Amino acid sequence: MSAIIEPTKVILDFKKIIVKPYTRKKQVKLSELKDYCAYPEAAEKILSEGRDPIIYEYYEYGPTETSGNINFGLTVIYPGKIGKEYYMTKGHFHEKDGAELYLCLKGRGILLMQNKEGKAVTIELEPGSIGYVPVGWGHRTINIGRGKFVFFFAYPSDAGHDYMIVKEKGFSKIVIEEGKSLKIIDNPRYRGTSD
Ligand code: M6P
Ligand code: ZN
């Protein structure tokens, strides 16, 4: 049975990067992200200096987790790096079958996707482009620009977020800056797909 949701108008404020009304908002700081980083020692160093920068935040409208409905909202990833690695989201798989789309509104980013066999695909996003995450692909977004990377997202309300695979194994690729250029390289900390 689906919950009864009233038809709703939702305002996306691109300047302030908020969604009204919203049902969930979250701010992720370095201390929460550090276990997902390719260079945890770089994260520890920043934290040991008494800093805990905000890496990303999002506002979401999704009043139900019932199937057939859609959750959506705005995410901003701030510019910066942890060691050589650009600021990024934790990344997750959906618990249930469900695609997701990301519409870039501002800045430059990369959508990194990976299937359960460890095959990774990256798509660069600039304002106006949509990254489509098919069913079954884990996904992480990365800010590769100098300003904020802002995007609209939408996914099925009952999809759920599974962080365990990403936390335990990582993504097979990481996005870094080396010698002033962007590189997408094998993740030295990737713990494989052998099981
Ligand atoms: C986007 C959406 C959210 C997700 C958020 C942060 O806003 O995909 O569902 O929660 O990015 O990503 P993560 O949860 O992987 O940190
Ligand atoms: Zn998702």
pLDDT band of 15, cuts 50, 70, 90: confident
CA distance 179 to 168: 29
Query: What would the pLDDT profile of 36-73 be if each residue is shown by its tens digit?
Result: 999 999 999 999 999 999 999 999 999 999 999 999 99
pLDDT digits (tens, 9 = 90+) for 74-85: 999 999 999 999
Beta-bridge partner residues of 126: none
Instruction: State the Cα–Cα distance between residues 144 and 167, nearest whole angstrom.
Output: 22
* Contacting residues for 60 by C-beta, under 8 A, at least 6 apart: 19, 22, 23, 24, 25, 71, 72, 73
Please tell me whether the peptide bond between 21 and the residue prior to it is cis, using omega within 30 degrees of 0.
Answer: yes
CA 9 to chain centre: 25
Confidence class for position 193, pLDDT limits 50, 70, 90: low
Mutate-to-test residue for ligand 1 from 28, 56, 58, 142, highest number of ligand atoms within 8 A of CB: 58
pLDDT tens-digit readout, 107-124 = 999 999 999 888 999 999
The whole-model pTM stands at 0.96
Cα 91 to ligand 1 centre (Å): 7
Using CA of residue 16, residue 19, residue 23, residue 25, what is the dihedral sign?
negative
Q: Is 25 in the pocket of ligand 1 (CB under 6 A)?
A: no
Looking at domain 11-186, which CATH architecture does it have? Answer: Sandwich (2.60)
Question: Could you tell me if the CB of 157 is within 6 A of ligand 1?
Answer: no
Tell whether the model's pLDDT for residue 28 goes beyond 70.
yes
Whether the predicted pLDDT of 170 surpasses 60: yes
pLDDT tens-digit series, residues 85-110: 999 999 999 999 999 999 999 999 99
What average pLDDT score do residues 152-162 get? 98
Ligand 1 contacts CB of residue 90 (under 6 A): yes
Does the pLDDT value for residue 167 go beyond 70? yes
- Cβ–ligand 1 contact at 75 (below 6 Å): yes
Is residue 194 predicted with pLDDT exceeding 60?
A: no
